[in-house]
Amino acid sequence: MMQLPKSRRRQKLREKKCQYPGCGKVFYGIHISKYCAEHRQDQYRIRKRVRPMDVTRDNVILPHTYTDVTVAVMHCKLQGCDNQFEVKMYPRQFIYPKYCPEHRNEYKRIRHLQRIGREDLIEQMKSESADVELEYGGADVAAGDTDEDMIDAA
């Protein structure tokens, strides 16, 4: 096991396999790490950067088969937030808010994490957005699919 400065993080490092195509190198990282030190470098990221990032940063992709507008109750994905909120799900629209109305803004999420003493999750939240970007890199997500008017329409 590697030694970590104890004060900073509660995250455990574990053995991970780099998911960069063709790499597969084993390294130690927190559970959301996907790439070895080399493939975490910006040059590799930029190569894979795709547009859905802005979409998935604050939203989740929820594949569903509703054929009518359906109201679903969602739980805020922010650690330590128990808020639930209603979301109108539309046929063929699969992108929905990830956080309760209170936490749709990143600044407020960071404030919340600081308040509950989980500063360690702030970095994670930020890198998570980057990871999602890669995960859904191939997804056919058009910017038009997140028409805010549609989401907000009562």
* Contacting positions for Zn ion (CB under 5 A): 18, 20, 23, 25, 36, 39, 76, 78, 81, 83, 100, 103
**Radius of gyration, alpha carbons of the chain:** 18
| Minimum gap (Å) between residue 67 Cβ and Zn ion | 30
The residue among 20 and 136 lying less far from Zn ion, judged by its C-beta, is 20
| Minimum gap (Å) between residue 113 Cβ and Zn ion | 11
Q: How many CB atoms lie within 10 A of CB 39?
A: 19
The residue among 23 and 110 lying less far from Zn ion, judged by its C-beta, is 23
| Minimum gap (Å) between residue 87 Cβ and Zn ion | 13
* Strand segments (E) across 6-98: 14-17, 26-29, 59-61, 70-75, 84-89, 95-97
Residues 105, 10: Cα–Cα separation, whole Å: 25
**What residues form DSSP beta bridges with 87?**
72
| Minimum gap (Å) between residue 6 Cβ and Zn ion | 28
DSSP-based three-state secondary structure for 95: strand
26-29 vs 84-89, strand pairing mode: unpaired
The residue among 41 and 147 lying less far from Zn ion, judged by its C-beta, is 41
CB-based contact 122:111 (threshold 8 Å): no
| Minimum gap (Å) between residue 68 Cβ and Zn ion | 27
The residue among 83 and 114 lying less far from Zn ion, judged by its C-beta, is 83
